[in-house]
Amino acid sequence: MMKLMVLTCTIGMIALSATARAVDAGSAESKTPHYRLVMQVGPTETMYTAAEVKAKHPDSGEIMVSGKMAGGMPGMDHTGPGMKPMVDFRHVELHIFALGTGKPVADARVSITLTGADKKRHAVPIARMYGITEGLDDLHYGNNMALGAGAYTVDATVNGEAARFSVTVPPGS
């Protein structure tokens, strides 16, 4: 009887932890006919060109492969006239994996638009990048952008294949 109770509790704990990962705020997954897509919205990332990384040797942040940095970066003053406070800047990223191989897709045509409860649409300026510590396995598309806390519908298109996500951006992420 004791073994059955321990087993039941263990299964319940596993189920709860799997549910928490599946509905993790700021993150969502979807599939299209050819891709597995992982959408994440998190804290603003410092973004560098390859030349800046070579010269400065940072140990964190993102290396931009194409596109341009948009929005805020940590350490920048966003409190002047017409500037949004730093808490409103987020890093929006879409990871694209080929269904057949599971590998990141390096040269996709991507668009990402977030729509909040207020029905305002926020188009993400697309840059292609990867994390300095993670390397090319972390290749993703997105950018830093002004985005307040709340629930968003995310419409993404990858090489003509559309997906829709729902994400919740927590305050101060």
Residue 94, in any domain of the structure: yes
Structural domain count of the chain: 1
Residue 20, in any domain of the structure: no
CATH number, domain at 80? 2.60.40.3340
Which tokens sit at 81?
Answer: 């006239």
| 3-class state of residue 121 by DSSP | strand
Residue 86, in any domain of the structure: yes
Range of the domain at 44: 25-169
The pLDDT profile of the chain, 173 residues, written as one tens digit per residue, is: 444 333 334 333 333 322 223 334 578 999 999 999 999 999 889 999 999 999 999 999 999 999 888 865 444 434 444 544 444 889 999 999 999 999 999 999 999 999 999 999 999 999 999 999 999 999 999 999 998 899 999 999 999 999 999 999 888 75
Residue 90, in any domain of the structure: yes
Beta strand ranges found along the chain (DSSP E): 27-31, 35-43, 47-48, 62-66, 89-98, 110-116, 121-123, 127-131, 140-146, 150-158, 161-169
Residue 2, in any domain of the structure: no
- 93 forms beta bridges with 40, 142
Which helix (H) or strand (E) is 16 found in, with range?
helix 2-22
**What is the distance between the alpha carbons of residues 166 and 164, in angstroms, rounded to a whole number?**
7
Residue 18, in any domain of the structure: no
- Write down the pTM of the prediction: 0.77
Residue 93, in any domain of the structure: yes
**Which segments of 63-141 does DSSP mark as H helices, in order?**
none
Does residue 78 contact residue 84 with C-beta atoms inside 8 Å? yes
Residue 117, in any domain of the structure: yes
